Structure 1
């Protein structure tokens, strides 16, 4: 298969016209696929099997149009007697190498697109929308602080927000919605995730430098994710809490896990029951966690 067309080598050991006493072998190429004519050129190479490199080369480098069934080659390719005594024949076998070139017009040629498209910037576009607050149409009051947002973005990201903003039982006042039982910093981090689709950098965005503070933010965001039906954010928070579990956070993590039916429960219990965590001056923390659980 060359240039989208099927080709074949036609080899006649007794000559193409099968004449009695014909002393020459015939060899040609043929286009065997159907369709309109195609311009082609070719090279036939009878290989020297003695590895001396004395190949016999016949070529046509002036293109010719070949239609289905057309052949193009040599009626007198090589004398049969010459072939039988030569190094071109070995163990009753010969080898012919054929090179076919198909000439295409600019319209037929597929020019590869060399420049790869840039990565998607849809997340950056939505993130910048949150930062600029351009065309925002809803506000949330959290601990006395006002956060502006876009209804369609929130509804697209959360079915809970969709019901709250557009559902049959939507809030009466969808211009400014009061959010209870959530810290302002947590709601700000929640909005960051909804627009940027990544867990917020709490150290950069909220100046929370300690490991404990970062875990506490993950705990609060897990509750927010459960509240607004954000399964991916919930799994991210669980993973971060597991990675940073410690004596001073395991009790609150365990309570949180059981409140939200989280997979964190088994991780917390395993951490608490480790021998090194059941003794020492901080053992009251883990014991309290176990007592609260029972």
Structure 2
């Protein structure tokens, strides 16, 4: 009979890493007249592992077609090749009416796709961002001040396949024996009174694991939800891993490693690797490093 190979699956995940920057231009009237093609730059800000900057041209970027306009661009300020991103530039209405002027590439993503920046200094923006005479009589200019909000969404892709990585936990029947001991309260030498409900136990016992050699349902439910917004270090699984490391409970450590392994993704691998290193979870650490290597283009943007 021919052998059947085990089935497997993977998922290609493409998403944006978003970040925003607020650029306040104080003293607009003094900047005006600096010359066509001359710009004021914001401080550099980081999104998706790259440096960006906002360039404001008070007299326009090019003389031939926009000297009557102010120009605004977002520039790639660090080294990068074929960086794909979405952008949004918002000129803030300072009257409080909320009538902001928004130029958004995000809204056209389905139509035209992300914009590709080929090298450091590549820019996206508008030569004719706003007609200068209208700007100077508008609610966008107040107390000789302009405010520009910028959002950048850097496109990243990775193969997200936590199911391809697993850590095997050895079989055990100790739970059946100790589970009975917990239920019939034989030889218990301590009682916990919690809100009127009494629990009989034995000293130095981590109740559920030590008696049943398994994880609780609470651990199961937290580990199975990769969409949990709380940090991995705040989960019950991570806390049990810390306890297992502290008290030398090797099988509990392996159980926690196995469950955390299932939650490895491009967004969580850095934090799980840090936990594995801190609590000497060697197999989990190896899986994190393999996953990071397989998805190097994305994970290199995160700090381990």
Fold match by TM threshold 0.5:
no
TM-score range, shorter chain: 0.3 to 0.5
Quick one: higher RCO (CA 8 Å, sep 6+), 1 or 2?
2
Larger Rg: 1
Q: Which has the higher strand share?
A: 2
Q: Give the TM-score normalised by structure 1.
A: 0.38
Q: Which has the higher helix share?
A: 1
